[in-house]
Structure 1
Amino acid sequence: MKRPYAEVIGSPIAQSKSPVIHGFWLGKTGIAADYRGTLVEASGLADYLSSRRVDPDWRGCNVTMPHKLSALPLLDRLDPLAAKIGAVNTIVPDGGALVGYNTDAPGFLEPLAGMLRETHFFRMARILGTGGAARAIVAALAGEGFTLVLAGRNPDKARAMLDELDPGGKHHAVDIAHFADPTDFAFDDREGCCDLVVNASPLGMRGQSPLAFDWSHAPPGSIAYDIVTDPVDTQFLQGARSTGLATIDGLEMLVGQAAVAFQHFFGVEPPRAFDAELRERLLA
């Protein structure tokens, strides 16, 4: 007998931790369904979606590189947040239609929720990277009142992204190389302020170039947040800790965005009481 299933698609796909996360939650909830990783090349994306559209057992898919933007024209409609961000990471069937969502934004914000409930005089985030994940992070933080410094290899691309996603914001676009060398900039009093430094790029990921960031660019009391998950403890986070800063690793966002997707796929909230056990499994 066939079972309902969801999956994660991308190229490459073997490194994805999503099957572990969703499989763990399916086991805890006792839902009789599967979740798997499926290799889908860019040239095969349209055919993949056409075949899944008519599969009654398919509950949807998570979308990873390189499909977060290229899937958009192949969908029937977008959730308002996904439309604003201009990227999808979750696709769900709905009465024969394919609907695109972006769970990266709420997933990114989840570990910051306690801090964001506080009142701050000023909020600023330095965001490194201008890809699909960065789009979600820019939109999420702009919505929480942050002034953004978006850094990329192409500052014009960073400027265009800021103008598109938050045209009324007083944000800044810079070359990512700006942060590689030390600075003697004297930061003002950060009491009552909230500062983030976010690696939203693949730099520092296993097999990728390292991320060159000198921590003299981070205001005192900053929180360092790296969305890379392989390795989990990146050189970026190690550097932040060496200067006494708090850190958030990529598993936090990964689990947070997966939780929203799980509810889309299977209609129930995942059992978050087991997050510590899940994290141990992901680190094994």
Structure 2
Amino acid sequence: MSLTRRQTAAALLALPLALTATPALAHGGGGPRGGGHRPRTLHLAGDSTAAQKYADAAPETGWGMALPFFLGPHLGVANHAVNGRSSKSFVDEGRLTALLDGVRPDDLVLIQFGHNDEKTEDPARGTDPWTTYQEYLRLYLKGARERRAHPVLITPVERRRFADDGTARPTHGQYPAAMRALAAEERVPVVDAQALSLARWQRLGPDGTEPLFNWLEPGESPNYPDGRQDNTHFRPAGAVEVARMTARALLEARALAPRDVRRLDAPVPEHLITWPRPA
């Protein structure tokens, strides 16, 4: 990355994000009920855009890796997101069961799927937005509620796609609308990451969004010796953008209280993002 692009990415980290209103949780957010001392945990179910990345994938960064920067130290994040998973395959592989095993009363269960549900040619992952997609998402809601936790639906964050005239293009078809409709029907909060990110990419434009995504020149990273032009997955700057967006929206939805969030208007230096080695 050239110096100019590094400076651009650093500046983007500090820019504010637009918000949309989301339904409020009935309990209004805050700390654990009953005065307990167990840290409240945010459990994240999702795909590669949110997942933990390791040293062999750097600088690719899931937004779940950056989420703790915007949360108070009394909150924990259990990132169960995995590359390539859909709402269906995450369940079928037993990953939802594993996630729910760690859920306790008053925790949050954040649910973001759509990228791989769209791959309808793959029977292991593809879903129909208005039938099977909603049916699988209901399993997440049911599991969280049975444990007296609070589910939050998150529409899939947008890819970096622009029309010839520079207009940011939506790429997720009917899946965001189907999730919004399910959230309204089930009366659960929805973080509309699709709408928020699409608006953000539009303001930044094709050049301004490039430093957020995993675009690399040949030789820039030993993990990608031939370079990369990835319009789906993030670099640290993009992961921070989406994590900041999510924390703001959770506060707006009252899924989190003001004491639960921090740094919403402060830059997060890229060097704070680290990639552990695979176990």
Normalising by the residue count of structure 2, what TM-score does the alignment of the two structures yield? Answer: 0.32
More strand by share: 1
Task: Return the structure number with greater relative CO, CA threshold 8 A, min gap 6.
Answer: 2
Greater Cα radius of gyration, structure 1 or 2: 1
